[in-house]
A and B are shown apart, each in its own frame.
Chain A
């Protein structure tokens, strides 16, 4: 009995010593805010195993109805350094500019990053993550989301006599040629096949033809090229050159599985999560074609299209208020978190290999392309990684402003739609648009 007690005492002492030893290296807590599960999955899979000394608290608010933004804005306005406030937050393309163009997001240089760290990053993603006011980089992305043009090989051959992607690119090399091709296919197919499905498809790419964004030096800027855009869309509407769809509606998805639409302008994620699952004969469980079913699997090819553009993406930025009062150890953890996910080439390579996602680093992209890339049966064996690799470096991220999301909606509601449908003349539409911008933004000068 005595022996047992002595043994128990010894065990207790050993355990307490052991727990003291464990307590000596306390974990650094890092609060990360995001709006999807995506980053959480990446943290669990890649970050936690390699960073045992960091305890990540993941907070998720959905972006629907701007809940994420309202939560973030409120916490920054009330208690930016409080226990609730994030150390690092994820930023979506729709609002990344708002946060990097403000003092909410810390300059990466303050965390110890140098220009060399992101020298190999894809330029558009760096441009978008840069504060337009002073040129400081504030947020970086792990993905790159270049856009491309996808087209139906069989329809192109049948009606246009085009057999290779190179030939097709010649048919859509700029917007004038694009519209000529649109008329050609409409005539050749007697109206059965349209060039594109919705006006929104064109807008996503066309806006990258502008020389400057919506707001320049605090003033509303309507780039002259936008009037060409209105001519183009009006002509498409009047001549019936598109399917009259609206992005994400039934008509839009129908065009993907039937012989009614020739092209779609979609980015990297659009290929995997929009076009492929909606092609009619794709089986998600086996990631392959369903033989015998009706659909368009394998009939799609991709080209750069009339203009290089970017659509979507997720950036990581650090809370400037928390970074300012963090000690060196905490600062190092914040830096490493951003570095690991967005700049670390080993991680990006592994992640690209595992997920097929298109990453933001040219070295990694080129390495994957050099290794033989990713021949994609959905694209008839065409390598989408190689094709996106060229498209990714075409987009100009500098035209993005913090107002884009709101002003794009005002533009489409007040100008594009009413004008091309003949509800308003051009002058009224532009005047209404200017009034709407003035009403929405007290801080933009409208002339």
Chain B
């Protein structure tokens, strides 16, 4: 065997070893194919539909681009959709805020308890499971459950209130704006605070135990450790929670749709429900629904960027600037 042949053989061997990397692409390929077909394409299709005249199933495949006219529906106060859309936008923000503030507070409290080495809580695993449980039950089941509990005039909640002497006559929860919105916020809170708590616990566990030990040696109280060590160090996780919760909250659909159907008087109608109704009920106004989706998308992008900017690590930015200059 000549030297040259031996060399090329060796090179081939080395080559085939390097070639294994292509299997990596094979393994990620299914995700990208599914993503391209079922996510990216629909997103572009939504953008296109928002500029077209696609009203009704018959026009979905042969619609014509008509420009930005559909967006006028949401910008011109005289259009029939203007009030409904912005009203549902306001409802969504109210319901989301009312659920998010208690959710993050409760999750923080529980997360700090579960990770506190001094508290030595028993049955941590069991508690975590119980708290996370509502998140596993499907929204439809929960909606049916709450609907039957708070029904009118004969239902468990009303029977309890009357028998406890708190009320003389049955109360119609789903005709009261405050009660309806509160119930939806409560369900959202109840379903999601476990999830937030798990993420926060993961964030707290990532903090170096040395910091806590040092604090313990220095005689810090639990409260001081929480405010001066835990809270500043899980700020990125809190920001992540805030942004994901806001994105999810603005797309809130299932509970309002199943529990109240937007009633009473459209005060629990959310943006996602508005979009659904435009697209899949009535005359199937796909173009208006898509335009509303695009507006919601832009709003979410802007709101997320604003949050990132507001919550940026100011000290780190200052430090960078100082060094750079």
B154 near A440 (CB under 8 angstroms)?
no
**A254 CA / B153 CA spacing, docked (Å):** 11
Give every chain B residue within 8 A of A250 (Cβ-Cβ): 148, 151, 154-155
Within the assembled complex, what's the spacing in Å between the Cα atoms of A243 and B170? 12
Q: Is the CB of A435 within 8 A of B153?
A: no
Q: Are A254 and B154 in contact (CB under 8 A)?
A: yes
Interface class of chain A by DSSP: helix
Q: Mark A409-421, 1 if CB is under 8 A from B, else 0.
A: 0000110011001
Q: For B61, what are the chain A residues with a Cβ–Cβ distance below 8 Å?
A: 77-78
Nearest CB on A from B128, distance (A): 33
B116 within 8 A of A: no
Near B by CB (< 8 A), chain A positions 39-84 give 66, 70, 73-74, 76-78
Is B265 a contact of A418 with CB atoms below 8 Å? Answer: yes
* Most chain B C-beta atoms within 10 Å of own C-beta, residue among A246, A421, A439: A439
C-alpha spacing A414/B154, complex, angstroms: 24
Q: Which residue of A has the minimal Cβ distance to B148?
A: A250
- B263-293 interface mask toward A, CB cutoff 8 Å, 1 = contact, 0 = none? 1110000000000011011111100100000
Tell me the minimal C-beta distance from A267 to chain B in angstroms: 24
Interface size class of B (residues with CB under 8 A): 20 to 34
B242 near A: Cβ within 8 Å?
no
Contacting A443 at CB < 8 Å: which of B60, B175, B283? B283
Question: A173 at the A/B interface (Cβ < 8 Å)?
Answer: no
The answer to whether the Cβ of B83 comes within 8 Å of any Cβ in the partner chain is yes
**A317 CB to nearest chain B CB (Å):** 16
Q: Is the pair A423, B151 in contact by a Cβ cutoff of 8 Å?
A: no
Q: Please indicate which of the listed interface residues A418, A440, A441 has the most CB atoms of chain B within 10 Å of its own CB.
A: A440
**Is B77 interfacial (CB-CB < 8 Å)?**
no
Check if B280 sits within 8 Å of A70, measured CB to CB.
yes
> Which of B55, B80, B281, B282 has most chain A Cβ within 10 Å?
B282
A235 at the B interface (CB under 8 A):
no
B148 touches A77 (CB 8 A): no
Contact in complex: A76, B57 (CB < 8 Å): yes
A18 at the interface (CB under 8 A from B): no
Q: Which residues of B contact A284 (CB under 8 A)?
A: none
User: Would B282 and A406 count as touching, CB distance under 8 A?
Assistant: yes
Q: Is B152 an interface position by the 8 A CB rule?
A: yes
- The answer to whether A423 touches B175, judged by C-beta atoms less than 8 angstroms apart, is yes
A439:B152 contact, CB within 8 angstroms: no
Flag if A73 contacts B175 (CB, 8 Å).
Answer: no
Q: Is B142 an interface residue (CB 8 A)?
A: no
> In the complex, are the beta carbons of B282 and A441 less than 8 A apart?
yes
> Is B234 interfacial (CB 8 A cutoff)?
no
Question: Interface 1/0s, chain B 160-187, versus A by CB < 8 A?
Answer: 0000000000101001000000000000
Tell me which residues across on chain A come within 8 A of B151, comparing CB atoms. 246, 249-251
Q: A442, B154: Cβ atoms under 8 Å?
A: no
Set of chain A residues within 8 Å of B81, measured between Cβ atoms: 439
Tell yes or no: A438 within 8 A of B by CB: yes
- Knowing A77-B61, A423-B175, A435-B80 touch, does A442 contact B283 (C-beta < 8 A)? yes
Q: Which residue of chain B is the closest to A77 with respect to CB atoms?
A: B57
Q: How far is the CA of A413 from the CA of B267 in the complex (A)?
A: 12
Main secondary structure of the interface of B (DSSP, over half): loop
A118 CB → nearest B CB, Å: 29
B30 within 8 A of A: no
Whether A424 is near chain B, meaning CB under 8 Å from some CB there, is: yes
**Hey, which chain A residues are within 8 Å of B153, CB to CB?**
243-245, 251
A442 touches B55 (CB 8 A): yes
Given A73-B57, A77-B61, A251-B153, A421 and B283 touching (CB < 8 A)? no
What's the tally of chain A residues with a CB closer than 8 Å to chain B? 33
Give B146 Cβ to nearest chain A Cβ, in Å: 13
Q: Is the CB–CB distance between A77 and B60 below 8 Å?
A: yes
Check B282 against A440 for contact (C-beta < 8 Å).
Answer: yes
Residues of chain B with a CB closer than 8 A to A74's CB: 57
Instruction: Find B154's partner among A73, A77, A251, A424 (CB 8 Å cutoff).
Output: A251
Which chain B residues lie closer than 8 Å to A243 at the CB level? 153
B58 contacts A by Cβ under 8 Å: yes
A95 CB to closest chain B CB (Å) equals 11
Report the separation of the CA atoms of residues A77 and B54 in the bound assembly, to the nearest whole angstrom: 12
Cβ contact of A439, chosen from B55, B80, B172, B261, cutoff 8 A: B80
Q: Closest A-chain residue to B265, C-beta based?
A: A418
Contact A66–B280 (Cβ < 8 Å):
yes
Question: Once the chains are docked, how many angstroms separate the CA of A133 from the CA of B283?
Answer: 17
A443: nearest residue on chain B (CB-CB)? B283
Residues on B with C-beta less than 8 A from A418 are 264-265
Q: How far is the CB of A447 from chain B (nearest CB, A)?
A: 13
Q: Give the distance in Å from the alpha carbon of A418 to the alpha carbon of B155 in the complex.
A: 22
For A407, give the chain B residue with the smallest CB separation.
B282
* B148 near A440: Cβ-Cβ < 8 Å: no
Residues A441 and B283 in contact in the complex (CB < 8 Å), given A250-B155, A418-B264: yes
User: Nearest CB to that of A418 among chain B residues?
Assistant: B265
CB of B324, distance to nearest CB on chain A (Å): 54
Closest to A69 in B: B280
CB of A49, distance to nearest CB on chain B (Å)? 37
Chain B, Cβ-Cβ closest to A78: B61
Q: Mark A128-162, 1 if CB is under 8 A from B, else 0.
A: 00000000000000000000000000000000000
What per-residue 1/0 map shows which CB atoms of A303-341 lie under 8 Å from chain B?
000000000000000000000000000000000000000
Q: Which B residues lie within 8 Å of A440 (CB)?
A: 277-278, 281-283
A residues in contact with B264, CB < 8 Å: 417-418, 423
For chain B residues 107-164, which have a beta carbon within 8 Å of chain A? Answer: 148, 151-155
How long is the Cα–Cα vector from A432 to B269 in the complex, in angstroms?
15
A418–B264 CA distance with the chains assembled, in angstroms: 8
Q: Which B residues are CB-close (under 8 A) to A443? A: 55-56, 283
Most chain A beta carbons < 10 A, residue from B80, B170, B172: B80
Closest to A444 in B: B283
Q: Which of A76, A250, A418 has the most CB of B within 10 A?
A: A250
0/1 per residue, B176-207, Cβ < 8 Å to A? Answer: 00000000000000000000000000000000
Shortest distance between the CB of B174 and any CB in chain A (Å): 9
Closest chain-B Cβ to A77's Cβ sits at a distance in Å of: 4
How distant is the Cα of A254 from the Cα of B58 in the complex, in angstroms? 45
Instruction: Report the separation of the CA atoms of residues A244 and B175 in the bound assembly, to the nearest whole angstrom.
Output: 13
List B residues at the A interface (Cβ < 8 Å).
55-58, 60-61, 80-81, 83-84, 148, 151-155, 170, 172, 175, 261-265, 277-278, 280-285, 288
Closest 3 CB pairs of A and B: A440-B282, A438-B80, A73-B57
11 A-B residue contacts at CB 8 Å? A73-B284, A249-B151, A250-B154, A251-B154, A413-B261, A418-B265, A432-B265, A435-B84, A441-B283, A442-B55, A442-B285
Supply 4 further A-B pairs (C-beta < 8 A) apart from A440-B278, A442-B288.
A73-B284, A250-B148, A251-B151, A442-B285
